[in-house]
Amino acid sequence: MTQRIAMWSGPRNLSTAMMYSFAARGDCRVVDEPFYGAYLAETGADHPMRNAVLDSMATDPLDVQKQLNSPVSEPVFYQKHMTHHMLDGWPDVWAEGTQHVFLIRHPARVVASYARKREAPELGDLGFRQQAEIFARTDDPIVIDASDIRADPAGMLQKLCARVSILWTENMLSWPSGGHVADGVWAAHWYGAVHQSTGFDSAEGPLPDLDPQYDWLAQAAMPFYQSLAAHKIT
C-alpha cells in the first residue's frame, strides 16, 4: 500500500527543498502544488507566469482530486501543497487516507523571502491563516519547522519518517542540482536558489530586519505560526 503524504505550507517555507528530499529517496513519487492552476482559475489572482501555469495543469479542483486519489506504483506519494491554494467550498474528501504534515517557518523569514520575489504581499498570499484552518480540521496532524530541519536535516528527517511510518534513508539529504522533472512551470520564477542547491542549506541565522512596510504582515501571521509551533516535532 502506498503511503500518501500531504505536506502543507505557505510559500518560501523550504517546501521545494523538502519535495526534492523526498524525490531523492528512490521510492517516492512527488507532485508540485497540484491545486495551483485551479486556484488561479477561480480567484483570478495575478501571479507571475499566470498564463503558463493555467496552460500546464488541471484547473478543475475535482480533476485534481481524482489525480491525487489515483493509484500509484511507488510506495510513497509526496504531495507538496500550498495552503492558500485550497479555497472555501472545495471538497477535501480526497485527503482521507493521507498523512498530513504541516511545514512551518517563522513569519519574518517568510515575509522577507517572499517580498524579494513578489511586491506588496498580503496575509492571504502567505498561507498562515489557511494553514491553521486546515490543521484544525485534520486528524493526527504532524508539524515540523523549516528552521529545525536546516539546523539538523538528518535528525529531523529521521523523526519525520518515523512519524509518517516510512523508512529513513540518507538519500534524502542530497539531490542533483538543476531542478526536478516534477517541478511546476513556475519554477523558472520561484526556484532559482534551490535549483543551485544539492542539499539543505546550513542553519538559519538571526531573524531578518523587515522593511517597515512589511513588519505588520509578520506580526499578523505570528499567532497562526505560534499555534502550530506548539505541536512541532522536537
The pLDDT of residue 44 is: 96
Q: Is the pLDDT of residue 91 over 90?
A: no
Strand partners, 142: 101
The pLDDT of residue 98 is: 96
The pLDDT of residue 93 is: 81
Fold category of 3-229 in CATH:
Rossmann fold (3.40.50)
Instruction: Work out the average pLDDT over 26-30.
Output: 98
Cell numbers at 175, concatenated: 539531490
Please tell me the pTM assigned to this model.
0.96
CA angle 151, 134, 14 (to 5 degrees): 25
The pLDDT of residue 194 is: 94
Q: Is the pLDDT of residue 211 over 90?
A: no
Question: pLDDT tens digit string along 44-60?
Answer: 999 899 999 999 999 99
Distances (CA, A) of 37 to 24, 118, 133, 179: 26, 18, 21, 20
Cβ–Cβ < 8 Å for 33, 86 = no
**How many Å apart are CA 232 and CA 53, to the nearest integer?**
33
State percent of the chain over pLDDT 90: 85
Q: Containing H/E element for 80?
A: strand 76-82
Q: Is the pLDDT of residue 38 over 80?
A: yes
